[in-house]
Amino acid sequence: MGDILAEAINTADQRIRQFLQQFKDQFGSEAGHVIRVPGRVNLIGEHIDYCGYAVHPMAIEQDILVGVKRCTNGLDLVNQDSSLYKPYKLDSLNNLEISTEKIHWWSYFLCGLKGIYEEMNIENPAGIQVFVAGQIPPSAGLSSSSALVVGAAAAALVSNGKTMDRSELASLCARAERYIGTQGGGMDQAIEILAVEGQAKLIEFNPLKAYDVQLPHGAVFVVANSLQEKNKAASNEFNSRVVECRLAAKILGKRLLQGEDWKDLTKLRDVQIKSGRSLDQMKDEVEKILCKQEYTREDVLKELDISDAYLRKNILTANTGDLNLFKLQQRARHVFSESSRVYQFQQICQQGSGDGSLKALGDLMTASHVSCRDDYECSAPRLDELVESALKLGAYGSRLTGAGWGGCAVSLVPVEKVESFMEGLLNMFYKDVENKQNVAFVTKPGSGLRLWKA
């Protein structure tokens, strides 16, 4: 993809001009650079990136803007919505420490800074004044938190006179977000940095590869907010799914591989590749090997012949150390079936447009939601109700997007039905909501990270 290079800023753009004035009003001087990072919607492929499998997201037009200016030292970070997101200051940017106990909005920004400083061995980083303005709804599953990490990483680069290849930056930002304690897989950061306007992406990991995918004509994607919020970093449900998949990988690997190879494996894809099996064959193995509906902690220790201390130190995370029940069959079944749906989705897109193709894509999306709801248990009552409403209103398919447990659903809607679909959502699903502004919107594939010289 090449290095991230600064472009000339378009001061004719009213939003950019207003943003630059807000920066000047806040700090008394002009911004040096402006960074734009989009949100994202995952079309299909939920909770499988951290298992090593490909995903199918696209960047959306909603974004955050980050204005940056070098200063003597420290950090002066201000959000446009300062009543909700309090300003944050540091006297020095050396040896940044990020708490996983209490997560603030600026915690994500520190992740991006720390990732760059440590990766590039930057000692005594330049001080920065930063102003942030965002259009991405928070806790909606549209990756507003990862956008902050990416924006901060770009700010750290430009303020210290550094640059980096886009693919390398995507991998770095995925690692950096784990400072907050969330064991994500890298989808959000990859699409926010690598996206190309007009194209969705199929993104593979280890190594990171991104393929442009032209979506069929005749339908659009509508993103609708369930208004049921969930912050994945503030609970252990996300990390619980990560460790359940790790445990499933360990047990499957121990049964399917020779010798002690399973001990080094943490991802279900690694087990599949090393055992030489197809996704369908892995689904069969899940039913045969992970045959219990629930595994106790004692079951896991016995299956793997490990101590509780080993389990806690090498497999569980800080906020999942006391888990006692694990649904390994259900989680692994979702991962293998969802990965299969991702490549089916890509193949249908490559075949071209037509009502049959759109219906097939919609069926895959709805099947994905059912799997997320039943096998992965990462949906929520309002999300399920939203998906059902979308299907009743004529969507080809609908599914939760993002980590789940709240947030948004994405629906594939025939172009000719968009107006009636949106009106129906407002009258059916949002009928008791007072402020209906921006609860649902039509979106198309947007561009990734941009850097402008002010």
Residue type, 412: L
Whether 305 is catalytic: no
> Which H/E stretch holds residue 57?
strand 56-71
3-state secondary structure 182-241: CCCCCHHHHHHHHCCCCCEEEEECCCCEEEEECCCCCEEEEEEECCCCCCHHHCCHHHHH
C-beta of residue 192 within 8 angstroms of C-beta of residue 55: no
Q: Residue with structure tokens 């304690």?
A: 181
Residues 6+ away with beta carbon under 8 Å from 289: 251, 252, 255, 256
Which letter does DSSP use for residue 438 in this model? T
How close are the terminal C-alpha atoms of the chain, in Å? 24
> Which H/E stretch holds residue 333?
helix 328-351
Beta bridge mates, 295? 326
Of the candidates 188, 261, 375, 432, the residue annotated as catalytic is 188
C-beta of residue 453 within 8 angstroms of C-beta of residue 9: yes
For residue 443, the SS3 value is: strand
Rounded to the nearest 10 degrees, the angle between the axes of helix 105-119 and helix 144-159 is: 40
Q: Is 291 exposed, middle or buried (0-12, 13-18, 19+ CB in 10 A)?
A: exposed
* Residue whose C-alpha is closest to residue 31's, from 452, 333, 312: 452
Instruction: Count CA atoms closer than 13 A to 281's CA, side-chain side.
Output: 9
Rounded to the nearest 10 degrees, the angle between the axes of helix 381-392 and helix 355-374 is: 160
C-beta of residue 244 within 8 angstroms of C-beta of residue 335: no
Q: Residue with structure tokens 């402008």?
A: 452
- Give the integer Cα–Cα distance in Å for 227 and 439: 8
**CA 318 to centroid of chain Cα atoms:** 21
For residue 347, the SS3 value is: helix
For residue 335, the SS3 value is: helix
- Give the integer Cα–Cα distance in Å for 360 and 349: 10
C-beta of residue 218 within 8 angstroms of C-beta of residue 414: yes
Question: Which residues participate in catalysis according to the annotation?
Answer: 188
